[in-house]
Amino acid sequence: MLRPFLVLAFALLVLQFGPVSNASGQDDGFKSIFDGQSLAGWTGNEKFWRVEDGAIVGESTESNKVDVNRFLVWEQGEVDDFVLRLKFRVSGTERANSGVQFRSELFNGEKDRLSGYQADIDRSGKYIGILYSERTGRGILCQRGQKVTLRGKKDKDVENVSDPAEILKAIDMDGWNEMEISARGNHLVTRINGKVTSDVTDEDKQQYKKSGLLGFQIHVGPPMKIEFKDIQLKRLPLQNKTKKIVFVAGKPSHGYGSHEHNAGCLLLAKSLEEAASETGLAVVTTVYKNGWPADPTALDNADTVVVYCDGGGRHYLHKNGEAFEDIMRRGVGLACIHYGVEVPKGMSGQRFLNWIGGYFETDWSVNPHWLAKFEKFPEHPTTNGVSPFEIQDEWYYHMRFSPEMTRVTPLLTAMPPVETLSRKDGPHSGNPAVREAVLKKKQPQHVAWAFERGDGRGRGFGFTGGHFHRNWQNDDFRKLVLNSIVWTAHGDVPDSGIESTTPTEADLEANQDYPERKPKAKAKG
């Protein structure tokens, strides 16, 4: 009889005081991107930026002036669709000016200068609450209290929806204020102390940015001080069936031209963004370099995760498997490339069977270099537009697949030459089982596959090629991988496959971890 009484009592409390918040006082999904103690995860000129009393402080003085607008840039990731919440306080003369930069890019290649959207802050009250476009030529996009639709530099619809003076009265020029910025597709809204200050729909196809960097500004001019604290970020699912593809590139590994995880991920992401720009492919990409992301929100709105890294005991999904299990339960896709398909036997191996339907198992699978010829493909979205091709690579084979190949669709299958089993037995080089399969039974080997998870939502892709960075120049090799990545995100793969420009030599050289090793010139004698 006690339980109904408690339920009634709780209901009365809710009616009187409102809903009970969680212990942290934050809404679900918000995560801190500032540790309150250091500038870890942020980059800028420390002549102007520091941490003091749990806040990020940007300050200029008469003896330490800012020459041009400078920024403290969040370097742990980019932002696309999100809600950002923080507190700010600005002090100095009435000309003190700052802002929160988002979906921006580096200006002139300088690491502490940004161009793009800015939620403006100033002390005079003239600019605070507006949406500005820093260093793009667009200037003020929306005045305080307006609702604006942008179509071009001089083409916009403007509606005055609130009194800017009344909004200003709710802002404490000498104390802390709360700011919220939300970006959902091309709809950008800024709030200060709960009041909407700017509401923008950006339909300017030339200037609209769907993702980019986040940062804080310290403005050129008289001495000033800006402070930010309680900085919380929440990722939002992308709009209009757009798929978020997150590449997680492993650390430098094998030397020039091989296992180029960073360069490979950046090249594939560039190819997908090119297709998005030229054909309307509904994707947004982001690349986290050099290992497991430090960004605590990195995978929160991912539709698929692309893993290209060293494997075995060093594999970051082996080390972070339990946390990643929660990502997989959401139905997020997973695409693993080359060494990224190898994890230790046991719990990690079983997880890979559940996530992508197969993996490289030591003392079972092998990793020889050989010329594979792919002549036939199954009817599957991942093979759309892919023509027969042959290519030399370190094609792993005799993979450990789900029993009976349940829900596994082989995509690339070829017969390895006898020479691939000429090495002595070892964890990666040979074993009785693989010799039985290839030498005796003449079984063709699957080196790429698609997988539908048992939950009916998640998809996986395994691809054992990708040792040689140069192979991304092969259009069919690259197309199959691009198709498969989009398929794991539940994106629509065009009937002709995802078309992308063949990478040039300069494209291949870009972003590699190591310089090319050129032969030494022979001494003259």
pLDDT of 523 over the 60 cut: no
Instruction: Say how many C-beta atoms besides its own lie within 10 A of residue 153's C-beta.
Output: 14
Question: Confidence class of residue 520 from pLDDT cuts 50, 70 and 90?
Answer: low
Residue 18 has pLDDT above 80, yes or no: no
| pLDDT tens readout for residues 200-237 | 999 999 999 999 999 999 999 999 999 999 999 999 99
Q: Please, which pLDDT band fits residue 28 given cuts at 50, 70 and 90?
A: confident
Say if residue 2's pLDDT is above 70: no
- Residue 505 pLDDT exceeds 80: yes
146 near 158, Cβ under 8 Å? yes
Q: Residue 515's pLDDT is what? A: 86
Percentage of the chain with pLDDT > 70?
Answer: 93
What pTM does this model have? 0.91
| pLDDT tens digits along 30-52 | 999 999 999 999 999 999 999 99
Whether residue 11 is predicted with pLDDT greater than 80 in this model: the reply is: no
Say yes or no to pLDDT of 20 above 60: no
**Residue 182: predicted pLDDT:** 98
Can you tell me the distance from the alpha carbon of 388 to that of 90, in angstroms, rounded to the nearest whole number? 63
Q: How does pLDDT run across 406-429, given as a tens digit for each residue?
A: 999 999 999 999 999 999 999 999
In the predicted model, is pLDDT for residue 10 greater than 50? no
Residue 524: band (very low, low, confident or very high) from pLDDT cuts 50, 70, 90: low
pLDDT surpassing 90 at residue 442: yes
Structure tokens of 202? 């950006």
Say what the pLDDT of residue 19 is: 38
CA distances for 44 relative to 2, 48, 57, 190, 405, angstroms? 59, 8, 12, 25, 52
Q: What is the pLDDT of residue 266?
A: 98
Position 522 scores a pLDDT of: 59
Q: Which of 12-16, 248-252, 486-490 is least confident?
A: 12-16
pLDDT higher than threshold 60 for residue 23: no
Distant-in-sequence, close-in-space partners of 182: CB < 8 Å, separation ≥ 6: 82, 83, 84, 188, 189, 191, 236
Looking at residue 518, its pLDDT comes to 66
pLDDT of 166:
97
Question: How far is CA 487 from each of CA 304, 407, 459, 512, rounded to the nearest angstrom?
Answer: 9, 15, 8, 27
Q: What is the mean pLDDT of the chain?
A: 93
> What ranges do the domains of the chain cover?
32-235, 243-509
pLDDT(1) > 70: no
Q: State which H helix or E strand residue 374 sits in.
A: strand 370-374
Above 70 in pLDDT, residue 15? no
- Contact by Cβ (8 Å): 100, 70: no
Tell me which residue of 338, 308, 319, 330 sits closest to 247, measured CA to CA: 308
Question: What integer is the mean pLDDT of 68-86?
Answer: 97
| CATH value of 243-509 in 3.40.50.880, 3.90.550.10, 3.40.50.1980, 3.40.50.2300 | 3.40.50.880
Band of pLDDT at residue 395, cut at 50, 70 and 90: very high
Give domain 32-235's CATH architecture. Answer: Sandwich (2.60)
What confidence score (pLDDT) does residue 116 get?
98
Domains 32-235 and 243-509 share a fold: no
Residue 499: HSE in the Cβ half-sphere, 13 Å Cα cutoff: 7
pLDDT computed for residue 456 by the predictor:
83
E strands in 186-271: 187-192, 195-202, 212-218, 224-235, 243-249
Judged against a pLDDT cut of 70, whether residue 317 lies above it is answered with: yes
